[in-house]
Structure 1
Amino acid sequence: MSDLIATAPTFGRIPTETIAVIGEHIVKEMRAEHGDKVASDRWWSITQTCRRWRDVLCDSAALWTNVTIKGIDYLQEMLVRSKKLPLTIHGSLCSDDDQTNCKKLRLIMSHSSRIRSLCITVSPGALKDLTEVPHISEMNKLEALDITQIPIETLEDGMPNTDILSRFQSPVLRSLRLTHFQFDDVQPLLCSTLTTLTLTGPGSASPSEMAQVLQGMPDLESLNLLLNFSPSDAV
């Protein structure tokens, strides 16, 4: 037994690559158990094993690509740790402090070219603020987009504001869920690559308008529409 103890490697002597593999295995198991949106801080405790483990794990970008929106400092830290890997980002941007909501969304969209999945509940003010950003990189990796606007925004002039959602356009978008938007506002995102589409009011559309849009989605497999349809245009 004494020989085994003498020759057994200590935590500090475990190879860097092995520590990284251990971390990735723990993350994989937690995501399998709790879903893809499990927060990264669920495995924060393993970084406390020792200083070397912390340094290695914090430098392992794959562990930090699933980002839950919390405080700005936390959000910034996760975005830095994930380096250049594709991101899954989810959470709320509709607190009473809309200035902070705007800052968080701008920070997220500064990494727009890396975002693969984005699921947010967001204030109208934060979305409108995004239209003031002069340059946002194209979201060429975005495959899944889920945006709920709270509270519901009603445009005073009744005109569509397609600029609000046009920043989220992607050539590889597969899954789209939008809640509390006008139908005209969402049209920039109704693209031919979609396989799943869910639209929930308060917007209104005529059946013929919707039919025309759907004709441009040859790969659509799932459709859920909770909109107001005009009875005068029944098909």
Structure 2
Amino acid sequence: MSVLSSSDKEESLNAQADLQKTMIASSESNTSQVISTALPATETYELSPMSKIPPEILAEIFIHARYQDRTAGWLAITLVCRHWRELALDTTALWNDVTFSATNLGSTHIDPRHLARAKQSPMRLEITAFAFTESLRLLLSEVHRAETLVIITFGSTMLSILQHLPPSAPLLTSLQVYINTESGVTRNTEFLNGCETPALRSLSIFHYTWDWTETFTLPRGLTSLTLFIDESGCDMNRLVHAVQGLPVLKSLTLAHLHHSVIPAFVAPTVKMILTHLQEMSISGFPPDVVRFLDHFNYPLSATTSLDLKDVENFDFNDLSLLLGPIRSRMEITANLMTELVLSGSLMEIYVDKAPVPSIYSSSPEPPHPPFFRLAMPPEGISVHLPLWNITSLGIPRDFQFEDTLDRPTWARLFQRIPNVEILAIGGQRMSSSFPYMRPATVLTLLGLRIVPAATTGEEESTYLFPRLKHLFLRDITLSPLGRNDFTFLQSLAEVLVSRAAAGYKLELLTVAECCVGSEDAMEKFRALARVDVVWDSTVEVVSQVDSDN
């Protein structure tokens, strides 16, 4: 039997130790893999970078998701982990905006826990209800916490809603009511008088059939009022009295204003000054609009938009009655009138001069609010409104001047604005009467010669817009008969050359989004017209008729 030396024993022990270390390391690796696989998601979350996001930032992400998707799908975030759930339940902004619907397509169920999670934060409630349900009753009990309330309903359901409103809504600042018209149903002003709203600042009511035999009062703190009068009309005296009770009113919109035949109208003795008024928009029949305006004075800086109905049937021999307080206001501010946009019988006058391309921008609204808008025949406009300082004129593409029955009337209107330096033709249309502008309209406007009246002492005829310097054409087909049609461009060049020969030379022509047929056609036009041309290189555009349908 051999005996191992001490050195051999040491080597053997080291080998066994190395083997044990290898086995332990392998076991630890396998154990770590098993544990990491078996760990719950909530524990692995603690190790992830997501856990490092501050709670207030994560809450903002939740709120963003809530407003991106108004369905219940976003609530899945409360099921991700305990941390997310606790944060979501504690974020009141996720729960204080409630949209409720009870229609023939189904009804929204309101869970009391949803309302409780909003805690004491101000709420926004949007209710679309064509029937009264228990969930709606529960939601109405929370109106005292509402900051914004929107109601869309039928008149009969509205009566039930009114009966279940709390006696006070101290936080309510904005109320919008949309009534789906039901003929023969008359409502009163109970929803204003029965529920105290001391903080209400904005009130919009659409198609509500008022009982005008009752006193009509509005919260004195209103800064914005919008009323759409229904077909039965209104009691002008009560409406005027209600508006006179709004000392801090800034915005007033009255649509379909017309006087009911029941009460007699009382002429004003003292006019109220709406000191804070910034904008006013009124549509209705001319006598009723003027009668209403006769009761008020307001700052000259206020934006005023008037849309007068049935003006064709009004006696324009007495335009002083129609324009009333408007005419003197326009004369006072005549030096500010530098821009005019017209289409058919619609005229808009702007306080500020804007670059012509912006007049017909893609935006549905003009770049500057009209100081005055009046729908009336051009004859009344040209006689009674001071237009001498107008330097910018815009004509949308639905204007058909060359074959209109009142062409002499329009010509007289254009004669009264001889200082126009910038003329924009085409662009967005303001009505659906015509899908696009005929090129002949452009030729007629630029080529029409006015024969002077015998009383003026002038011997030669003159062109419209004698001071015209910049012509802007947009969204007009300049080759109406096809790609190789040069007829219109040739006629336009001849008109511009004739104007130049008579002393009315155009300095600049801008062509944008117009179908010109070909690049060769535009180059040929440049040579013939002898005018500087800025062209956006558009050769063909989508059919205007198709694009309007």
Band of TM-score, shorter chain: 0.7 to 0.9
Higher relative contact order, structure no. (Cα contacts within 8 Å, ≥ 6 residues apart): 1
Count of residues paired in the alignment: 214
- Equivalent residues in 2 for 1:54-65, closer than 5 Å: 54-65=85-96
1:84, distance to aligned residue in structure 2 (A): 1.7
Distance 1:184 1:195, change over 3 A: farther
1:49 matched to 2:85: no
**Any idea what the Cα deviations from partners look like across 1:153-190, whole Å, max 9, x if unmatched?**
633xx6x5333454444001011011121234797662
Instruction: Point out where structure 1 has 5 or more consecutive residues left out of the alignment.
Output: 1-6
Aligned residue in 2 for 1:182: 209
CA distance in 2, matches of 1:13, 1:200: 51
Please report the TM-score for the alignment, with normalisation by the length of structure 1. 0.73
Q: Cα–Cα, structure 1 residues 12 and 80, in superposed 2: closer, same or farther, change >3 Å?
A: farther
Change (3 A) 1:77 1:56: same
* Cα distance between partner residues in 1 of 2:255 and 2:58: 45
The code of the aligned residue for 1:86 comes to: P
1:125 positional shift: 3.1
- Please say if 1:87 is aligned against 2:127: no
Q: Which residue number corresponds to residue 259 of structure 2?
A: 230
TM superposition shift of 1:27: 1.6
Distance of aligned partners of 1:51 and 1:74 in 2 relative to their CA distance in 1, 3 Å threshold: farther
Whether the 8 Å CA contact 2:225–2:252 is kept in 1: the answer is yes
Establish whether residue 149 from structure 1 lines up as the match of residue 179 from structure 2: yes
- The match for 2:47 is 10
Q: Give unpaired runs (5+ residues) of structure 2.
A: 1-43, 102-106, 266-287, 292-549
Tell me the secondary structure at the aligned position of residue 142 of structure 1. Answer: coil
Identity of aligned residues (%): 24
Greater share of residues in helix: 1
State the one-letter code of the partner of 1:78.
Answer: H
Q: Secondary structure at the match of 2:88?
A: helix
Corresponding residue for 2:16?
A: none
User: In structure 1, what is the Cα distance between the partners aligned to 2:76 and 2:255?
Assistant: 43
Q: CA RMSD in A?
A: 3.5
Structure 1 residues 153 and 29: CA distance shift in structure 2, 3 A: same
TM-score (norm 2): 0.34
User: Do the aligned partners of residues 99 and 218 (structure 1) sit closer, same or farther apart at CA in structure 2, a change above 3 Å counting?
Assistant: closer
| Counterparts in 2 of 1:142 and 1:105: CA distance versus 1, 3 Å | same
* Structure 1 residue 68 displacement after superposition: 1.3
Partner of 1:3: none
Alignment partner of 1:129 out of 160, 170, 173: 160
Mark the structure with the bigger radius of gyration: 2
Are residues 26 and 53 of structure 1, via their aligned partners in 2, closer, same or farther at CA, if it must alter by over 3 Å?
Answer: closer
Structure-2 residue corresponding to 1:201: 229
Residue 163 of structure 1 is matched in structure 2 by: 190
Q: Distance in 2 between matches of 1:104 and 1:165?
A: 23
Contact 2:62-2:88 at 8 Å conserved across structures: no
Displacement after TM superposition at 1:79 (Å): 1.5
2:110/2:135 contact within 8 Å kept: no
Which residue number corresponds to residue 213 of structure 1? Answer: 242
Alignment check: 8 A CA contact 1:110 1:136 kept: yes
Contact 2:110-2:139 at 8 Å conserved across structures: no
* 1:26-41 alignment, distance < 5 Å: 26-27=62-63, 39=70, 41=72
Query: What secondary structure sits across from 1:47 in the alignment?
Result: helix
Q: How far apart are the structure 2 equivalents of 1:91 and 1:11? A: 42
* Whole-Å separation in 1 of the counterparts to 2:132 and 2:65: 37
What is the match of residue 172 of structure 1? 199
Measured in 1, the distance between the counterparts of 2:215 and 2:113 equals 34
